[in-house]
Amino acid sequence: MKAVLAKDLEQDAKLAKRTHAELCKQQRVFNARNRIIGGDTQAWDIQVHDQRIKEATEKARHETFAAELRQNDKVICILDDREKRDRKCLCRAISDFQQNCQKPETRREFDLSDPLALKKELPARQSDSDVRNTVSGMQKFMGEDLNFQERKKFQEEQMREWSLQQHREWERARADQKFAEDHYTQTRLNFDETASHLQKLESITRKAVCAAVKEFNRKQAMESAERKRQEKRQEQEDNMAEISSQLRGDLLSENPQQAASSFGPHRVVPDRWKGMSREQLEGVRLAQKQQIQEKLRLQEEARQRDLDWDRRRVQKARVALLGERRQHRQQCEDRRALDRSNLRLAAEQRLQKKYMDEICANQPTADYFAQFNTRSR
């Protein structure tokens, strides 16, 4: 018996795994219903199971990390407390050493940090004209001179004088305003009296104008009535003259000459025309007869023209019918030629098929086609 090696077992396991995966894949691929309509529930369950395992693994890893973080926090807190305690002890030792061995009086630069140095020094300036008050020293500014108190009192006195002066000016302005208001009131009263007087004069003038207008209107009415009586009398006289002129004129006597127009013998005055004469009526009837004969002649010419067009249309239709028949005969000839060509080609194809059947004797069976589409790839 041959010895079974671990490498052979691993290869057999891989081969079995691939075979099982191929069979599962073939079941999914060749199942048209699940592939087109439905879904693979087994694959989904496997995916859900894998996802849950992954989530549980992640949760366990996070919990491990959290435990390590808590342990590290405890260690850091312990080390931080130890460092604070050590720093506090070091600071206390340094302070004790400075108080015992490093007193301020023993330092070389004690004069720079002496707390009584300001008391020992001279004042910044002794007067406003001190030579030490240079520009870069900034010991004297505007308003910080030694005469500040006197200058402040002088400024206060000046402000008091200004206030009194402003008060006097305000009183003077108020008196001027009161005088202006009184003057304005008196002027308004004078204007009101003048306006009242002018209004009375205007009322008197308006009454006089109204009286004059009334008198003028009365005279105009009398003149208008007299003018109307004169116009009515003149109109009656004109009407009587027109009636007598109509009675004696050519209008009612029906004189044909009174309708003649001054623009020519062929024109008349419409409001005077009494009708046509017998000669004119005969001329009109003769012209109507000539128009009737001319209309008959035109109708006969139109009928002859329509007959000519109908004859031409019939000839064109006969020519088109003959052309269609000739085209139909040509199409029939072409169809018969095509049928003969198809018969010849069919015979040639049958001979070629018969020749190919004799050459290719092995026909493919169902087993030949069954070997395709057996794998998932």
Between the alpha carbon of residue 135 and those of residues 121, 145, 189, the distances in Å are 21, 14, 72
Task: Considering only residues 335 and 132, tell me which one the structure prediction assigns the higher pLDDT.
Answer: 335
Task: Considering only residues 290 and 355, tell me which one the structure prediction assigns the higher pLDDT.
Answer: 290
pLDDT at 370: 78
Task: Considering only residues 189 and 365, tell me which one the structure prediction assigns the higher pLDDT.
Answer: 189
Please, which residues have CB within 8 angstroms of residue 22's CB and are 6 or more apart in sequence?
375, 376
Which residue in the block uniquely carries the two structure tokens 């003959």? 322
| Average pLDDT of the residues in 294-303 | 94
Supply the pTM of this predicted model.
Answer: 0.24
pLDDT tens for each residue of 134-146: 767 666 666 666 7
| Average pLDDT of the residues in 201-222 | 89
Tokens of 188: 């308004």
pLDDT at 264: 66
pLDDT tens for each residue of 104-128: 777 777 777 778 877 877 766 766 6
Highest-confidence segment of 246-260, 332-346, 353-367: 332-346
Res 304 pLDDT > 50? yes
Phi and psi torsions of 104, nearest 5°: -65, -30
From 16-25, 51-60, 108-117, the region with the lowest mean pLDDT: 108-117
pLDDT at 374: 72
Rounded Cα gap, residues 370 and 374, in angstroms: 8
**Percent of the residues in the chain that have a pLDDT greater than 70, as a whole number:** 82
Rounded Cα gap, residues 13 and 18, in angstroms: 9
